[in-house]
Amino acid sequence: MATKPTSASGPKRRLDIRVKPAPKAKTKPELRKTAKPALRAKPRGKAKSRERRNLNRRRLLWLGRLKYGEFAFECRVFDLSLGGAKVELDLPLKRGTLVTLQIPEVGIMIANVAWARDGQMALAFSEGTAAIRKKLAAKASKLGLL
């Protein structure tokens, strides 16, 4: 006669475990009703509707001078905002490099390189928006930057 294996605490028992079925998944219309408005997918529109910038940016074409250390280079300014500018310059500067941008119509602004690729770079002004607004003076409202 065969005996069941035992352990120190007594004979082994087989546990009868019942698994509950997973709750039914909500249908798509139910999900749409319960989703918060901010989490719903927004329809994609033109590129302008997907702008992530907080400050108004004005496209323009001005000549400027970018100073890096003791070197100065002529550049073209393609757009301008109270927070930064996009310039064209064939100089591979790394992200975070401190530069000075001088635009005759505006003045001198201290900036950091935000990105640089294909001969263009974006500059983020180190000065606050109030200081840039003051430098732009009346031109800010004419350009639509306010």
Instruction: Provide the residue ranges of all domains of the chain, joining segments of one domain with +.
Output: 57-143
One-letter identity of residue 71: F
Q: Is the pLDDT of residue 30 over 60?
A: no
3-state helix, strand, coil in the chain (%, to 5): 20, 40, 45
% of the chain beyond a pLDDT of 70: 64
Tokens (6 digits) for 50: 């997907």
Q: How confident is the model at residue 10 (pLDDT cuts 50, 70, 90)?
A: low
Q: CA-to-CA distance for 84 and 129, rounded, in angstroms?
A: 9
pLDDT tens by residue, 13-26: 666 667 777 776 66
CATH architecture observed for domain 57-143: Beta Barrel (2.40)
